[in-house]
Amino acid sequence: QVQLVESGGGLVQAGESLRLSCAASGNIFRINAMGWYRQAPGKQRDLVAGIPSGGTTYYADSVKGRFTISVDNAKNTVYLQMNNLKPEDTAVYYCNLLITRTTLTQGNYWGQGTQVTVSS
């Protein structure tokens, strides 16, 4: 069994920074791929940043140069560093991990979501 816990969201002013964390726990052998998604009210959930199993990092055009996705394998934690935040970044942010469990089987897991609100 694997669980993801997100943290780090909050209310900030435009131009400020936040770092979101996604901590995985349970029967984890390896994190194979990871992504951060966001969903604003009335809109679909979109991929913001991701690292697929192939290793080439993806960023949505709207966040390129401002956001950085990273992973600390020793802590089984994935991060999203968000700099120079803009009001249009306001959304609920979700992490998504593809994990190889200790049984050497794979599973896809979602965090519970964390609210990021950016005021102008």
In whole angstroms, give the CA distance from residue 34 to residue 108: 10
Q: How confident is the model at residue 45 (pLDDT cuts 50, 70, 90)?
A: very high
Averaged pLDDT for residues 43-47: 97
User: Which of 79, 114, 81, 78 shows the shortest CA–CA distance to 99?
Assistant: 78
pLDDT 10s digits, 51-100: 999 889 999 999 999 999 999 999 999 999 999 999 999 999 999 999 99
Question: Residue 100 corresponds to which tokens in the numbers above?
Answer: 């190889």
Query: Rounded to whole angstroms, what are the CA distances from 48 to 39, 58, 66, 81?
Result: 10, 8, 11, 12
Using an 8 Å Cβ cutoff, are 78 and 97 in contact? yes
Using an 8 Å Cβ cutoff, are 4 and 112 in contact? yes
pLDDT 10s digits, 10-42: 999 999 999 999 999 999 999 999 999 999 999
In whole angstroms, give the CA distance from residue 105 to residue 88: 38
pLDDT 10s digits, 2-17: 999 999 999 999 999 9
In whole angstroms, give the CA distance from residue 33 to residue 43: 25
Q: How confident is the model at residue 114 (pLDDT cuts 50, 70, 90)?
A: very high
Strands 10-13 and 114-119: parallel
